Amino acid sequence: MSKNAKHFSIVGILIPIVTAIVYYTISTFFFELPEAASAEASIIDDLFNGHYILIAFLFAIVVVPLVYSISVFRQEEGDETDAPHIHENTTLEIAWTVLPIFLVIGFGIWGVTNYNAVIASEPDEITIYVQGYKWDWTFYYPDHDYKSDQALVLQEDVPVLLEMQSSDVIHAFWVPGFRVKQDVYPYDTENQALNFASGPDYDPEPYHFKPQVMRFTPVKEGVYRVRCAEICGTSHYSMLANVFVLSPSNYQAWLAGDYLLPPDPNLVNSQPGEGYYLDALNDFTIENGFTPPPPPELAPVEDEG
Ligand SMILES: [Cu+2]
């Protein structure tokens, strides 16, 4: 084996190893995603994973040869000669131009295909209106006698079409567990009475307003969070709402008014980072109901008498 072949084979073995380590590190420690809870989540996660693998590989093909060269090709003591000067390598230049072009086009086609799959309409989807405003969300169910609630309540495995608008500034509707996100625009800042909140017959059409639409199918019972993903003012951080994904029987009970949901933590405490509340919500079922968690215990004060 020539010396060059030996160097190339060591680098060739190190590149996939480093790719795997970097991929594992970024997908496990830096960008760990919440549990996937919608039918669309796996489509988005495939794209995320594809990008992570590519990023890890591009990191490895630059850094492995660099670190290997720095460590192995040291200048000998007393050696004053220059390294060979290399000009032009047509094959290499064509390769590093053409391969990235195909990669970018390939990822583009993949992205568009997946995006079309995510936004595709479903035959039996239910429509819910969403009003975003500084700093909360309200939900309206046009098919169910104008039922509104501070929480978004969905039925497991039933596709949803959200029609959304904002009362004031641009917000963004984002449920990390569902992997879907959509900007929500103001329609008419002059006349804020004209919105979904004004009634079930509200029709944005005469105002030439097209609501923003978003589709997804929740597939796991549980409690999730909507958070605003567009910085929209001082209380942007607390522009949260709960999403309850209920079984068909619980959903029907909720529609009939027989099933009370836990209060919105926005109303109970608006401090950010109070995760214990969300943990308690996650244990919530129609059978065991909801018990707000006890306040954190204070350490007893030692009597110094
Ligand atoms: Cu917002």
pTM: 0.74
Backbone angles phi, psi at 243, to 5 degrees: -115, 120
| Separation between Cα atoms, residue 300 and residue 261, nearest integer Å | 34
With the C-alpha atoms ordered 217, 122, 155, 210, is the resulting torsion angle positive or negative? positive
pLDDT, position 113: 94
Task: For residue 231, report the distance from its CA to the centre of ligand 1, in Å.
Answer: 6
User: CA dihedral in degrees (261, 263, 264, 266; nearest 10)?
Assistant: 180
Task: For residue 158, report the distance from its CA to the centre of ligand 1, in Å.
Answer: 27
Sorted by sequence, the CB contacts under 8 Å of residue 175 that are 6+ apart come out as 38, 181, 216, 224, 225, 226, 227, 243
pLDDT, position 287: 54
pLDDT, position 275: 41
| Separation between Cα atoms, residue 205 and residue 100, nearest integer Å | 45
Task: For residue 167, report the distance from its CA to the centre of ligand 1, in Å.
Answer: 10
Tokens 């131009």 belong to residue: 97
| Separation between Cα atoms, residue 138 and residue 158, nearest integer Å | 20
Q: Which CATH number fits domain 126-282: 2.60.40.420, 3.40.50.1100, 3.40.50.620, 2.40.170.20?
A: 2.60.40.420
| Separation between Cα atoms, residue 165 and residue 184, nearest integer Å | 5
Task: For residue 182, report the distance from its CA to the centre of ligand 1, in Å.
Answer: 12
Task: For residue 192, report the distance from its CA to the centre of ligand 1, in Å.
Answer: 16
Backbone angles phi, psi at 34, to 5 degrees: -65, 165
Task: For residue 133, report the distance from its CA to the centre of ligand 1, in Å.
Answer: 7
Task: For residue 81, report the distance from its CA to the centre of ligand 1, in Å.
Answer: 63
User: CA dihedral in degrees (264, 266, 270, 273; nearest 10)?
Assistant: 70
Written as tens digits, the pLDDT of the chain (305 aa) is 688 899 999 999 999 999 999 999 988 888 777 888 899 999 999 998 999 999 999 999 999 999 999 999 888 888 888 888 888 899 999 999 999 999 999 999 999 999 999 888 888 899 888 888 888 888 888 777 666 666 888 999 999 999 888 888 899 999 988 999 999 988 765 554 456 655 556 666 666 667 889 999 999 888 888 889 999 988 888 788 888 888 888 888 888 877 777 665 444 443 433 444 555 555 555 555 555 444 445 555 565 54
pLDDT, position 157: 93
173 closest CA partner among 267, 268, 243: 243
Task: For residue 243, report the distance from its CA to the centre of ligand 1, in Å.
Answer: 17
- Is 243 within 8 Å of 223 (Cβ atoms)? yes
pLDDT, position 274: 40
Task: For residue 44, report the distance from its CA to the centre of ligand 1, in Å.
Answer: 23
pLDDT, position 282: 56
Tokens 């109901």 belong to residue: 289
Q: How many CA atoms lie within 13 A of 103 on its CB side?
A: 13
Task: For residue 183, report the distance from its CA to the centre of ligand 1, in Å.
Answer: 9
Domain boundaries, the chain: 3-71+92-119, 126-282
